Each structure stands twice: as structure tokens, then as C-alpha cells.
Chain A
Amino acid sequence: MPSALINVPKRAKRGEIIEIKTLMSHIMETGYRHLASGEVVPRDIITSFTCRYNGAEIFRADLFPAIAANPFITFFTTATESGKFEFEWIGDSGFSETASASISVE
């Protein structure tokens, strides 16, 4: 059961710049490791991360095998209105996870 750890301030002033921190559980298997038998362990990574703020995309990332396991991504945005942040992680083997967090903006 992949867990996501999201950190968004619960409250902010209109126009305030806030930091959003995200942590998603994922092995990020590089595709460069071998079993003792010599077979390659196939790549299995998150390839894309998106954040939407009240429906509009505010941040997106392309991830490669060089991103460490349990990807930690932080970024900033301006608090404009109360509402919801929606996060989506998409990856190999049909990996798809979402999470959300609310914010109240005065």
C-alpha cells in the first residue's frame, strides 16, 4: 500500500509564497541492477509527478532512474484562493497514485 506524505500549510494569506513538500513510497528500481544469475532487474520507476491547484497544473516533474527511492520533491507556489491541491504520480508497470491536501486562504 504505497503511502504518500504531503506537507502543505493548512492556512495561508492571499499572495503568500508557500512551500509544498511531497514524499511518495516507491522503490525506483533503476533497471541497472542484476540478480546473482546475471539477469537484469527490470526498470520500475515513477516517471512523472504533477500538482494541480484547484484544477490548474502548477508544477510538473519528469523523473529518471537517477531520482532516489521514495521520491522526495518540494516546490513553491503562490497561495491565491482556498481549495485543493491534487497530486499525481505515474510510472512504469501502470503505476498511478494520487493524493490531495486542502488549503484555506484568507
Chain B
Amino acid sequence: MKSVRTIIAALLLIAVASPLSASEIPQAERRTGFSFMAPETQTMQNDDTANPGMLWVLDGEALWQSKAGTAGKACADCHGEVGGSMKGVAARYPAFDKELGRPVDLEQRINLCRARHQQATPLAYESRDLLALTAFVARQSRGTAIESGGDPQLKPFIARGRDLFMQRQGQLNLGCTHCHDDNWDKRLAGSAITQGHPTGYPLYRLEWQSLGSLQRRLRSCISGIRAQTYDYGAPELVELELYLMSRARGMPVETPAVRP
């Protein structure tokens, strides 16, 4: 009978919980994590003389000039002056690497350059030197609108990143989307839930009292919802980074940002 069918249909609708396609944030409502912070923390980011992330940028400036590897070359030897060659680069990362046939993030690109062109050993993830170089390069894109993900070769990887963002996982059975698409601007244990746009990486996180990469943040987010984290450099993390950056397209780069 019609009414029974209606009841069953209604019950099925309720049972489905949050439908995956529902919740992407409309363009006009997108906000950077900066806008959720207290004024004091915003000041810390905006003042280059007070932003602790600038300490790493300074280190990166020195590393840019120092010779490395058996080839005895510095970044500057091929790339010249950083402001000219690196402007806009971070705004379109992660980017597709032809040789590997998959996207790489900025940290991986720096290590690939070291291996392929400097004949130098790769820098460890989250090491001071790698963070410094990444922050120095990314800083050159400060103010530039993010344009990651435009390359058609990246489409399948963005789709995989989106699936990772949406999937329920871990003990709490939560997907990233449930907080960062559905519940942003609400509070969790006193802290604001942001929309999760990676506009300022690598950034100085007050919780870490150090500069850290987007991969570090993703790993702590994932362990925070009590799920199994991926190792540094895992393709899943790069796909997530890629999806997040393409989700933030149009927003300006803030590196080095400060976040709570």
C-alpha cells in the first residue's frame, strides 16, 4: 500500500546517515583557517618579525645557497634567484611527476631534485632541513591563489583523494568530511573546527611548537580520530594533499602560516 511504501522509504532515508555527496562547502562560504583564530594568533602570522615560521624560512635561504651531493651543486646553481624561479610553484603542488607516473608534493619534489640533479641523499621527512627548504620555496608563493589539480593527468588521483576524505574510518568511524564539511565553525573541546584548507603549509603549529608539514598534520588528524595513519610519503597522503589543495583552489597561499 502507498502509505507503507512511504514509511519504508522514509525509514531507509534516515538509515542512510550522511550521504557522501551532500556536503561540499559552497565556494562563497569557504574560509581559511586563519579566520577561525584569535586575533593574537593572527597577529603572530601576519608579522614577519614575530612569526616563528620565519626562522625556518631563514634557514631555507641559507640551504638554497649551499652546495650538496656529489654533484656539488646548490639549488641556486640551477634555479637562480628564488623569488624569480619559485614564485607560484607551491600554489600548484602537488604536481604530476612524469617519471613516477603519479603526483608528488613539494617535499618529495625537493628530494627528487636532490637525487636526480644534485646526486645527494634525500632529506628525512620532517627534518629541519627539509622543512626549511620547503618553507623557503613555498613562501615565494605567499599571496598567490592556489591552482593545484588543474592538470588532467591528476584527475584519478584527486578522485582517490576525495574518496579518502569522505570515507569513514577508525574507532570513531568518522570521515574528514563529517567535521570539516558538515560541522565547521562548531567547536570541539574548546577549539574551532576549521574547513581544513591547507593554505599555509608548512606551518608553525602552536601545539607542535615547531614548523611542520601537511603530511604531519594529516597523520595527527587521522590518529586523532583513532584510525590507522599512513607512513610519511605514502601515496594516500599525497592524494589527500592533492584533493585538499584542489578543494582550496582560489584561496591565497599563506606560508608560513601559524595555527593553534
Residues of A at the B interface (CB closer than 8 Å) are 1, 3, 5, 7, 21, 23, 25, 27-28, 68-70, 72, 74
Contact = CB atoms under 8 A, between A and B. Distances in A.
Contacts of B56: 3
B206 to A, nearest CB: 8
Nearest to A25: B55
A7 B52 CA distance: 13
A1 B52 CA distance: 15
Nearest to B206: A68
Contact of B52 (A21, A70, A74): A70
Contact of A72 (B50, B62, B210): B50
Q: How large is the interface on B (under 10, 10 to 19, 20 to 34, 35 or more residues)?
A: 10 to 19
Given A21-B49, A23-B49, A5 B210 contact: no
Given A27-B210, A68-B209, A69-B209, 6 more contacts: A5-B49, A5-B54, A23-B50, A23-B52, A28-B209, A70-B55
A46 B118 CA distance: 37
Chain A interface SS verdict (over half): loop
Given A23-B49, A72-B50, A3 B209 contact: no
Interface string B118-150: 000000000000000000000000000000000
Interface string B239-254: 0000000000000000
Interface centre among B52, B58, B59, B209 (most CB of A within 10 A): B52
A68 B210 CA distance: 11
Interface in B8-54: 49-50, 52, 54
Given A21-B49, A72-B50, A5 B59 contact: no
Contacts of A72: 50, 52
B95 to A, nearest CB: 29
6 contacts: A3-B55, A3-B56, A5-B55, A5-B58, A7-B49, A23-B52
